[in-house]
């Protein structure tokens, strides 16, 4: 097996368990013609064993470690890892819909598997993991006997690994438009064309967190996508709910979701540019009891972090100004490069500029089926905050 030797000075994160090894951390590779995607053994500079993983000379991340043991990487390895991931979800209460495999957090770097009841959606985001796709599919078939498996590898990050973007069936074809249950509600999910893997499972616990603050409230939601937060608000007793999103397709599905749950008399959605509308409605003096903001990631590169912070500050400032005295702001960020402390600082700056006094109700991360590994920042990406907003 090809051996990879690390430099003497490497980032402590490797020794502390992080599976990524960058090309500039490597002293030498014993086989210069090693096949991309092949399994290699990694050693520290003193020749002590570090771990075993897959290599890709075309990627900035030269090696992604799969194990710290000298164990065989084969079909049974992936079967065991996926079974362990499933057992963790069962023990923590996620059985119907969940992120079954969350990449590095489940010791399977660059692999995402979402479970929607009896249907599964897979993303293999690196060459090494893509090579093991047949083993992954075989494991899902053996463990779950699913009704269908769909591939959502239509993501640009694959191109950094020399892979093509693609999507399609990995099982017998099925209708990719399904209906799932969440918190006593039903939602249409488009596995083929919906964002990411079709649905944002990472907010499923956070959607329950609004149940007390929305009772009898006039609620405004911005960046609603398919309306999950807004429909939960209506379900939990809101007086009225208005959701805004720039995508006409998302708004159409949100309205279908409201009708599916018999909540279309309380909850409605409009296709507008939320940035522009929030700004105008502040000028118009509109007020709501609860304002909910769930924007997309504002940046995926470190170079644009300041722009992302400016964006978060601006929309949260507008959101606070639309909240009636004593009402609540519900706000999220899925930008993993904006760390939790920085996100809270940004909200604090927005409150000061809006001349509002805020009181934290709850601050949470993503649902526990997306476990966080300390020291792996990419596993701790979602910030979910509820604050009470009062006039100064």
Read off the pLDDT of residues 97-131 as tens digits, 9 standing for 90 and up: 999 999 999 999 999 999 999 999 999 999 999 99
State which of 45, 67, 89 marks the end of a domain.
Answer: 67
At residue 301, the pLDDT reads 66
Residue 214 phi/psi, 5-degree rounding, is -100, -5
Secondary-structure breakdown of the chain: helix, strand, coil percentages, each rounded to the nearest 5: 35, 30, 35
Residue 299 scores a pLDDT above 70 = no
Q: What is the pTM of this model?
A: 0.94
At residue 108, the pLDDT reads 98
Determine, yes or no, domain membership for 240. yes
Q: What is the mean pLDDT of the chain?
A: 95
Q: Which helix (H) or strand (E) holds 278?
A: helix 274-284
Determine, yes or no, domain membership for 183. no
Domain count of the fold of the chain: 3
Q: Which residues span the domain enclosing 49?
A: 3-67
- Is 181 in a helix, a strand, or coil? strand
State whether 59 and 79 are in the same domain.
no
Structural tokens at position 218: 């006039």
Confidence of residue 82 (pLDDT cuts 50, 70, 90): very high
At residue 232, the pLDDT reads 98
Residue 297 scores a pLDDT above 80 = no
At residue 389, the pLDDT reads 98
| DSSP, res 195 | S
At residue 149, the pLDDT reads 98
Residue 300 scores a pLDDT above 70 = no
Determine, yes or no, domain membership for 248. yes
How large is the average pLDDT for residues 11-27? 92
Read off the pLDDT of residues 329-349 as tens digits, 9 standing for 90 and up: 999 999 888 899 999 999 999
State which of 67, 90, 122 marks the end of a domain.
Answer: 67
Residue 296 scores a pLDDT above 90 = no
State whether 228 and 274 are in the same domain.
yes
State whether 129 and 59 are in the same domain.
no
Q: 254, 227 in Cβ contact below 8 A?
A: yes
Read off the pLDDT of residues 254-290 as tens digits, 9 standing for 90 and up: 999 999 999 999 999 999 999 999 999 999 999 999 9
């Amino acid at each position: 097996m090809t051996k990879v030797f690390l430099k003497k000075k490497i980032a402590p994160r490797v020794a502390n368990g992080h599976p990524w090894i960058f090309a500039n951390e490597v002293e030498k590779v014993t086989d210069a013609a090693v096949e991309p995607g092949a399994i290699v053994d990694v050693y520290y500079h003193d020749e002590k064993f570090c771990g075993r993983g897959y290599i890709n000379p075309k990627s900035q991340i030269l090696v992604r470690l799969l194990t710290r043991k000298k164990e065989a990487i084969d079909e049974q390895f992936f079967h065991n890892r996926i079974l362990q991931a499933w057992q963790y979800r069962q023990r923590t209460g996620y059985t119907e819909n969940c992120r079954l495999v969350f990449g590095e957090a489940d010791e399977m770097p660059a692999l995402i598997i979402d479970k929607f009841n009896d249907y599964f959606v897979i993303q293999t985001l690196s060459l090494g993991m893509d090579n093991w796709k047949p083993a992954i599919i075989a494991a899902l078939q053996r463990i779950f006997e699913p009704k269908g498996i769909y591939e959502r590898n239509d993501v640009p990050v694959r191109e950094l690994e020399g892979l093509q973007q693609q999507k399609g069936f990995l099982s017998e074809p099925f209708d990719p438009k399904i209906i799932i249950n969440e918190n006593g509600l039903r939602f249409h999910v488009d596995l083929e064309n919906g964002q990411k893997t079709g649905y944002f499972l990472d907010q499923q616990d956070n959607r329950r967190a609004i149940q007390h603050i929305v009772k009898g409230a006039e609620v405004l939601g911005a960046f609603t996508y398919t309306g999950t937060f807004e429909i939960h608000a209506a379900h939990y007793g809101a007086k009225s709910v208005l959701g805004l999103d720039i995508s006409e397709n998302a708004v159409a599905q949100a309205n279908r979701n409201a009708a599916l749950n018999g909540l279309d008399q309380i909850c409605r959605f409009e296709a507008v540019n939320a940035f522009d509308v929030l700004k105008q409605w502040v000028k118009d003096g509109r007020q709501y009891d609860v304002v909910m903001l769930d924007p997309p990631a504002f940046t995926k590169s470190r170079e644009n972090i300041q722009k992302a912070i400016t964006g978060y500050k601006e929309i949260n400032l507008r959101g606070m100004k639309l909240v009636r005295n004593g009402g609540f702001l519900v706000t999220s960020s899925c930008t993993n490069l904006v760390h939790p402390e920085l996100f809270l600082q940004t909200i604090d700056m927005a409150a000061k500029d809006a001349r509002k006094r805020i009181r934290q109700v709850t601050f949470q991360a993503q649902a526990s089926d997306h476990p966080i590994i300390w020291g792996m920042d990419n596993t701790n990406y979602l910030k979910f905050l509820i604050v009470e907003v009062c006039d100064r």
